[in-house]
Structure 1
């Protein structure tokens, strides 16, 4: 059983559902029926021995995820397969009904091992394999700016900033006219700025002190957001940028808005994986934060 948050949702739910059914249990500490069905689900996960994965989401703490799934009452359970919701139910249903629900979707006992073997044979490339594939595409066709952008993006997500900067150099002159390239340049700038600050924890503490002294210290907020982004704390970084935008939408020639968009562009699903059906086209975090940006900018 895993507790999921908006930060690990992509890994623990979406990515995991590509290889096994994932049952998401939306609950809350104050919910009586949740205390009944929760232990039953945990018992069945153990009994089913890997035939499905149980993920629990505290709907009070993770209201964005609850809203993304349209949760109106709890407990609500949603089953995902291949990145998409396929079935669900509400309420503390009895154990027999839970088994019937699971047996409709999970692989029968005895077939799991065979499926694991098949999945291993057709498993998607790991992160290093994806990078090699993207690098090959760039080497094979250096003029393919889309492939180069995906390669640079993958390098940044892997923390290989110097390599990303080198790969980006051939298209740096096109930044002004191409949004994705502009976003990549801003992302590279964020990573380099963070590196120039030295120890990230100390840098953030310094920015926090400045913000505490003046809520409108946008330079401190902007610096804090860039360091957070370099730590892959994407939502924290965007939350900080939203604090600037709520107070001054056009601050520093739209620097906060542009940085926010750059983060969204960086973390949205890779086109290759979407095309191959490995992951859904719309990431819940990206969708939520695009809406939040629109609501602030248009208000």
Structure 2
């Protein structure tokens, strides 16, 4: 069993899973069920004698990793093969169920030598997000299915995350007419609007906007513009915090613009759910879950 942090995640999890399945146990010191599951996982790892690798991630200390996997409750275990999640489960399962979960994916110990097992059992490695290969794959997906809004969303989002705004606008142009009717596309439109606001600003305006807000907490124009600056810099929670300040004072401000932008950010930061065992509920990103609850509490109050 290995304790994994952001510093050694690439080597101990992604690279390791290219040759051996890696089971990631997300836990925390205060979690009672985690203390029950941990020894079971270690016992099974020893019994399986190298058929998989067990690593543990403290979700309190490594919130970036927990967020990347969309962990919403612990313990949660995610199995990676070939560099990508293939299945997972939540809760402190008994030893028999842990073994049943693993046996669905792991090749028998005596079936094939390690090199052949790797080729036969592991899926093709997925290019790292942001790499040239990943961008090319996303672009090809759009070319193959130009009407697939999900594929286009993934492609444009990847470009914007890399700061390739002009390329993103080119990719967005064919669907701009239906942006207001498709939530994912509308979210991208809000993001690009924010980038345009910052690009056209005469100078960094965060301090000036904050001063205006300090002088008048109901200066919603200043609050919204500050939220756009946060969006442009990918400071997503800061942007949503500012939008919530508007919504708490005026839910319908500017034809519901604050709420629509808030929902757009949730759409942008939500990550694909990892595959989980049948009957299990896919974990939700904790940040997304928290800010969904905050929005509901404000809008419904």
Shorter-chain TM-score: which interval?
0.5 to 0.7
2:167 to 163, 166, 180: 163
Cα distance between partner residues in 2 of 1:159 and 1:257: 25
Matched ranges for 1:133-148 at <5 A:
133-148=137-152
Cα distance between partner residues in 2 of 1:175 and 1:231: 22
| Partner SS for 1:126 | coil
Q: TM-score under structure 1 normalisation? A: 0.64
Matched, 1:205 2:202: no
Q: Please report how far the alpha carbon of residue 77 of structure 1 lies from its aligned counterpart in structure 2 after TM superposition.
A: 5.2
Matched ranges for 1:50-89 at <5 A:
51-58=53-60, 68-69=72-73, 78-81=76-79, 82=86, 84-88=88-92
Matched ranges for 1:114-153 at <5 A:
122-127=124-129, 128-153=132-157
Taking a change above 3 Å as real, the CA distance of residues 17 and 261 of structure 1, as seen in their structure-2 partners, is: farther
| Partner SS for 1:88 | coil
Matched ranges for 1:187-206 at <5 A:
187-197=191-201, 202-206=204-208
Matched, 1:178 2:150: no
Q: Please report how far the alpha carbon of residue 290 of structure 1 lies from its aligned counterpart in structure 2 after TM superposition.
A: 2.1
Look up the match of 1:26: 28
Structure having the larger proportion of residues in helix: 1
| Partner SS for 1:21 | strand
Taking a change above 3 Å as real, the CA distance of residues 287 and 198 of structure 1, as seen in their structure-2 partners, is: farther
Look up the match of 2:234: 232
| Partner SS for 1:293 | helix
1:249-276: CA deviations, max 9, x gaps? 11111111111111112222359x87xx
Taking a change above 3 Å as real, the CA distance of residues 142 and 210 of structure 1, as seen in their structure-2 partners, is: same
Taking a change above 3 Å as real, the CA distance of residues 17 and 286 of structure 1, as seen in their structure-2 partners, is: farther
Cα distance between partner residues in 2 of 1:103 and 1:159: 44
1:248 to 247, 250, 253: 250
Please tell me whether the aligned partners of residues 72 and 285 of structure 2 are also in contact (alpha carbons under 8 angstroms): no
1:169-221: CA deviations, max 9, x gaps? 1111223433332222112111222333477xx53333322222222222222
Count of residue pairs the alignment pairs up:
256
Matched ranges for 1:81-100 at <5 A:
81=79, 82=86, 84-88=88-92
Look up the match of 2:268: 266
Taking a change above 3 Å as real, the CA distance of residues 142 and 242 of structure 1, as seen in their structure-2 partners, is: same
| Partner SS for 2:146 | coil
Q: TM-score under structure 2 normalisation? A: 0.63
Look up the match of 1:283: 285
1:102-150: CA deviations, max 9, x gaps? 999999xxx9x86888888721222233321221132234344443333
| Partner SS for 1:142 | coil
Taking a change above 3 Å as real, the CA distance of residues 53 and 237 of structure 1, as seen in their structure-2 partners, is: farther
Taking a change above 3 Å as real, the CA distance of residues 270 and 103 of structure 1, as seen in their structure-2 partners, is: closer
Taking a change above 3 Å as real, the CA distance of residues 145 and 121 of structure 1, as seen in their structure-2 partners, is: closer
Cα distance between partner residues in 2 of 1:24 and 1:215: 41
Mind listing any 5+ residue stretches in structure 2 that lack a counterpart?
7-11, 80-85, 107-111, 276-281
